[in-house]
């Protein structure tokens, strides 16, 4: 049995500004760093042997807090864990995009899996690349406990797949707040959820 721990980076500057991040980056806020440290403290007794992160700096910064707290020697990064690529939208304010692209957002609000953003990705592409990497991790670390730090949409799509839902059923799984914690046990093709989208470690911090 392999244990997979999936989480999201801490709060960033662009999170607070309502700005599209995607493959671009913005720094963790002071609160985001506190969120990451709180998560790291919570994970001390989970027996994590390996940690992987998206190569985006906000994810790496979060993963480093976990690595240091757990005393792990190495943090590995991979672009497969990056956030949904929003193409031309990256760096823009969400609300401004809604005004500029009303027809696209009409679909996005009801059936986002049908949307390929201008110059960017769609949900199926993101889920496939992240899931392929996750399968590689499971094969490489059978019988171990591994932590992966990724991003809001990518994480939600991974959890959706792990729980047996299709991409178009993504709304059936909970939104992944900053540093949301997911713990799943994998045996062959069977995924057993032990914790999904949990944020108890943020009880003393305002949830974002």
Domains for the chain: give ranges and CATH numbers: 2-202 (3.40.50.1240)
**CA pseudo-torsion sign 158, 164, 168, 173:** negative
Between CA 82 and CA 200 the distance in angstroms is 25
Strand partners, 6: 148, 182
Q: How far is 198 from 180, CA to CA, in rounded Å?
A: 5
Question: What residues are labeled active site?
Answer: 9, 83
93 backbone dihedrals φ, ψ, rounded to 5°: -80, 130
Per-residue model confidence as pLDDT tens digits over 68-125: 999 999 999 999 999 999 999 999 999 999 999 999 999 999 999 999 999 999 999 9
How many residues in the chain? 208
Mean pLDDT computed over every residue of the chain: 96
- What pLDDT is attached to residue 206? 63
Whole-model pTM: value is: 0.96
CB 52 within 8 A of CB 137: yes
What mean pLDDT is predicted for residues 120-136? 98
Token pair belonging to 15: 């999170």
- CA distance linking residue 191 with residue 37, whole number of Å: 28
């Amino acid at each position: 049995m392999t244990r997979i721990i999936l989480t999201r980076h801490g709060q960033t500057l662009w999170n607070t500004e309502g700005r599209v991040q995607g493959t671009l980056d913005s720094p963790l806020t002071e609160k985001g760093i506190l969120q990451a440290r709180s998560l790291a403290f919570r994970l001390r007794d989970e027996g994590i042997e390996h940690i992987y992160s998206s190569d985006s700096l906000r994810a790496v910064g979060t993963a480093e807090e976990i690595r240091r707290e757990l005393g792990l020697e190495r943090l590995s990064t991979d672009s497969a864990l990056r956030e949904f690529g929003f193409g031309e939208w990256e760096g823009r304010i969400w609300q401004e995009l809604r005004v500029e692209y009303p027809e696209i957002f009409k679909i996005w609000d009801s059936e986002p899996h049908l949307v390929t953003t201008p110059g960017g990705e769609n949900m199926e592409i993101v889920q496939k690349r992240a899931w392929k990497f996750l399968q590689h991790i499971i094969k490489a670390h059978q019988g171990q406990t591994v932590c992966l730090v990724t991003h809001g949409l990518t994480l939600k799509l991974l959890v959706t797949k792990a729980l047996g839902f299709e991409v178009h059923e993504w709304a059936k799984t909970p939104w992944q707040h900053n540093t949301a914690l997911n713990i799943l046990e994998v045996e062959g093709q069977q995924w057993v959820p032990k914790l999904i989208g949990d944020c108890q470690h943020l009880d003393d911090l305002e949830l974002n």
